[in-house]
Amino acid sequence: MTAVEKAYHHGDLRAALLSAALESVEAGETPSMRAVARRAGVSPAAPYRHFADRDALDSALAVLGFDELHDDLTTALVEVRSSATAAQTLGAVAIAYVDFALRRPALFRLMFGGACDPENSDRVRASGRLHALLGGVIARFFPASDVVSLSQALWGLAHGLAFLHLDGKLRPEPTSEVEGRIRSSVTAIITLAEGASA
The domain that holds 75 is classified in CATH as 1.10.357.10
Provide the number of structural domains found in the chain: 2
Q: How much is the pLDDT for 10? A: 45
> Does residue 170 share a domain with residue 74?
yes
> Does residue 69 share a domain with residue 85?
yes
> Does residue 119 share a domain with residue 142?
yes
> Does residue 179 share a domain with residue 83?
yes
Q: How much is the pLDDT for 2? A: 53
Which residue type does 22 have?
Answer: L
> Does residue 127 share a domain with residue 59?
yes
Alpha helices in 32-174, H assignment, sequence order: 33-40, 54-79, 86-103, 105-112, 121-141, 147-166
User: Are 194 and 86 spatial neighbours (Cβ–Cβ below 8 Å)?
Assistant: yes
Angle subtended at Cα 123 by Cα 122 and Cα 128, rounded to the nearest 5 degrees = 100
User: Are 100 and 69 spatial neighbours (Cβ–Cβ below 8 Å)?
Assistant: yes
> Does residue 128 share a domain with residue 38?
no
Encode the chain (198 residues) as per-residue pLDDT tens digits: 455 445 444 468 999 999 999 999 999 888 789 999 999 999 999 999 999 999 899 999 999 999 999 999 999 999 998 899 999 999 999 999 999 999 999 999 999 986 666 777 888 899 999 999 999 999 999 999 899 999 999 999 999 999 999 999 999 999 999 999 999 999 999 998 887 766
* Domain end residue (candidates: 49, 65, 85): 49
* Domain of residue 125, residue span: 54-197
> Does residue 180 share a domain with residue 162?
yes
> Does residue 26 share a domain with residue 10?
yes
Q: How much is the pLDDT for 151? A: 94
